[in-house]
Amino acid sequence: MKFFSVIIVTALLSLAAGFVFPWWAIAPVAFVIALVVPQKPGFAFLSAFLALAFLWGGLASYIDVKNKHILAGKLADLFFGKPSHYLLVVLTSLIGGLVAGFSALTASLLRAKKINA
Partner 1 sequence: MRWLFISLSGILSVALVVFLNTRIGKMPALGEFLSPQHGFWQNAEPAGYNFSEVHKLKGLKGKVNVYFDDRLVPHVYADDPTDAVYVQGFLHARFRLWQMEFQTHASAGRVSEVVGDVALNYDREQRRLGMTYGAEILLAELEKDPLTKSLCDAYTAGVNAYINTLSASELPIEYKLLGYEPEKWNNLKIALFVKSMSKMLAGNSNDFEFSSVQHLFSDEQMQLLFPSVPDSLQPIIPPGTDFLRPAIEPVMPASADTQYFKRSALSLIEEEDEPDEDNGSNNWVVGAKMTKNGAPILCNDPHLELSLPAIWYEMQMSGPSINVYGSSFPGIPGVVIGFNDSIAWGVTNSQRDMRDFYEIQFRDDSKKEYFYNGQWEKTKMRVEEIAIKNEAVFYDTVAYTVFGPVVYDHSFKNSLHENKAIAMRWKALDPSNEAKGFWLLNHANNYEEYVQAIKYIECPPQNFVFASKSGDIAIWQQGAFPARWDRQGLYIMPGYDSSYQWQGIIPQDENPHALNPEQGFLQSANQRPVDANYPYFIPGNYDLYRGITIHNRLVGKEGLTVDDMKNLQTDNYNSFAATIRPLLLNHLQTASLNNDAGRYYQIVKDWNLRNDVIEKGPVVFNLWFDSLESLIWNDELAALKMANKLPYERTLAEALLRDTAFSYIDNVNTPDKESLTALVTEAFLGIIPGLDSLNQQGKLEWGAYKNTTVYHILKKSMMPFSRSGLPIGGGQHIINATQHSHGASWRMVVEMGAETQAFVVYPGGQSGNPGSKYYDQFINTWAAGDYYRVWVYKKGDEAHPRARWKMEFLPTNN
Instruction: List contacts with partner 1 (CB under 8 A).
Output: 15, 18-19, 22-24, 27, 31, 56, 59-60, 63-64, 66-68, 70-75, 77-78, 83, 88, 91-92, 95-96, 98-99, 102-103, 105-106, 109-110, 112-113, 116
- Using the minimum distance from each CB to partner 1, give the nearer residue, 1 or 51: 51
In terms of phi and psi (left: phi > 0; alpha: psi -120 to 50; beta: otherwise), the region of 62 is alpha
DSSP string, 44-75: HHHHHHHHHHHHHHHHHHHHHHHTTTHHHHHH
CB of 71 to partner 1, least distance (A): 3
Is 111 within 8 Å of 34 (Cβ atoms)? yes
Of the two residues 1 and 40, which places its CB atom closer to partner 1 in the complex? 40
> What is the closest distance, in whole angstroms, from the C-beta atom of residue 27 to partner 1 in the complex?
5
Report the nearest approach of partner 1 to the CB of residue 91 (Å): 6
Q: Is 88 helix (H, G, I), strand (E, B) or coil?
A: helix
Cite the DSSP H helix spans in the chain: 2-20, 26-36, 41-66, 70-80, 85-116
Shortest reach from residue 1's CB to partner 1, in Å: 26
CB nearer partner 1, residue 1 or residue 19: 19
